[in-house]
Amino acid sequence: MGKNKDYYRQLSNDMILRLNEGVTLKLMKYIQDFLKEGRLQDAAISFDYIGLNERDTYIVFNTWFSMDYITPYGKSFVRHFLEERRHEISKYEKQILEERERSYISLYEVINIRGDNVTVFDLICKRVEILYQPENIDMFEIGSVFLGRISDLLGRKKFIAVFHQIDIKIKNLLLNSILNDYYSCKSEEPMLKIREY
């Protein structure tokens, strides 16, 4: 994607957000069709999250179900959609979904804010990301910690879906809990990478 970043930067933030919203609606429609066709009839779906409110729970569930849930066919719904309906989406929408498919949930600490850009440190994967967040820049403070998912939206990295600010007092507790669980899983799957966890 590197050589396309300058090309994508010609798109306004509003246009990118509209493309993201549009392809999300197409993906959700595809999932509805998938379910109506009975292709997930006997599959077990376990989701244990209660959000801050009904909307929060709905968005988190849909994000998890579309990107992280693996169907009995061994694929996420994003992968199914890209394989079966690729011809129905633009190259921009395809790129958004491919990047979304690579995204993962992590714990991020804000280390810098400059204009509409927020620099965060991924406390789990130990890497720095620069995010473009003009629509909610006021909610970030240096030192604040967020649990969320970052994706590259056509050359601009952003938090996507719902992301939550974590009380700084529980940061280490949460981080240790996540890492302990990861190492427990890794003992059973030695090749497991932290981003895959």
Predicted confidence at residue 1, as pLDDT, reads: 46
- In the DSSP assignment, the letter for residue 130 is E
SS3 112: strand
pLDDT-derived band at 60, boundaries 50, 70, 90: confident
Task: Point out the least confidently predicted range of 16-20, 27-31, 44-48, 154-158.
Answer: 44-48
Which among 1-15, 58-72, 114-128, 172-186 has the top mean pLDDT? 114-128
Domains with residue ranges and CATH for the chain: 2-102 (no CATH), 105-188 (2.40.50)
Task: Point out the least confidently predicted range of 19-28, 60-69, 88-97.
Answer: 60-69
Q: How far apart are CA 195 and CA 186, in angstroms?
A: 12
Residues in a beta bridge with 146 = 108, 165
Mean pLDDT over residues 21-44, rounded? Answer: 90
Give the residue carrying structure tokens 């006021």. Answer: 138
The total of other beta-carbon atoms located within 10 Å of residue 187's CB is 9
Evaluate whether 137 touches 112 at the Cβ level (below 8 Å).
Answer: no
Mean pLDDT over residues 39-63, rounded? Answer: 80
CA of 5: how far to CAs of 1, 11, 152, 164, 165, in Å? 7, 10, 10, 28, 29
Mean pLDDT over residues 58-63, rounded? Answer: 86
Six token digits for residue 107 = 């714990």
| Backbone Cα Rg of the chain | 18
Give the residue carrying structure tokens 């240096």. Answer: 142
Q: Nearest 5°: phi and psi at 48?
A: -115, 75
Residue 178 has pLDDT above 60, yes or no: yes
Mean pLDDT over residues 42-47, rounded? Answer: 76
Q: What is the pLDDT of residues 5-21, one digit of tens each?
A: 555 667 888 899 899 99
Q: 54-67 and 77-84 helices cross at what angle (nearest 10)?
A: 60
Residue type, position 196, single letter:
E
pLDDT-derived band at 131, boundaries 50, 70, 90: very high
Give the residue carrying structure tokens 């280390």. Answer: 111
Q: How far apart are CA 159 and CA 105, in angstroms?
A: 10
